Amino acid sequence: MLTVGDRFPEFDLKAVVTTDPKTAFTQINHRSNEGKWKVVFFWPKDFTFVCPTEIAAFGKLNGDFNDRDAVVYGVSTDSEFVHLAWRQNHADLKDLPFPMLADIKRELSTELGVLDKTEGVALRATFIVDPENVIRFASVNDLSVGRNPAEVLRVLDALQTDELCPCNWQKGDAVLKVA
């Protein structure tokens, strides 16, 4: 698995950005939103149980990520058509403010090393990527356990200070100073 200090791979994926079939689809690639921080999170499958709870939680914090000059990309190995159908049929996903990327050929999840070897789907992986395209945070959960998007936001805040941040540090707290 790629980890902290590695460069995030190049990619070019179809994405779903609305529930309207006329405007739903766009291409997102490694050059999209250049110069911004990126939060890229993967989930195993659309139309499942844990996944929409995480996706909706990231959606609720999207404005906070944007305030920090970060964009959020959600990714699974489902197609863009499955993403669209799920958004159209799940109340918590209809107004999702970030793109759902379709890694249907499993290229990005394979390059990152987050493809489950047994199930063939993406693990619950989360990456924070800095404006120079370097991975600064990497986390992977088991398929059955949802993650905490508020913790991802906290880590982004800490990374953006470029300081030493103690355990449980929150934005606005004092940072550590080397004596």
User: Which residues are annotated as catalytic?
Assistant: 51
Separation between Cα atoms, residue 24 and residue 19, nearest integer Å: 6
Residue 111, C-beta contacts closer than 8 angstroms, at least 6 positions apart: 2, 9, 11
Taking alpha carbons only, the member of 16, 18, 9, 82 closest to residue 40 is 9
The one-letter amino acid code at 107 reads E
Please check whether residue 122 is in contact with residue 77, taking contact to mean a CB–CB distance below 8 angstroms. Answer: yes
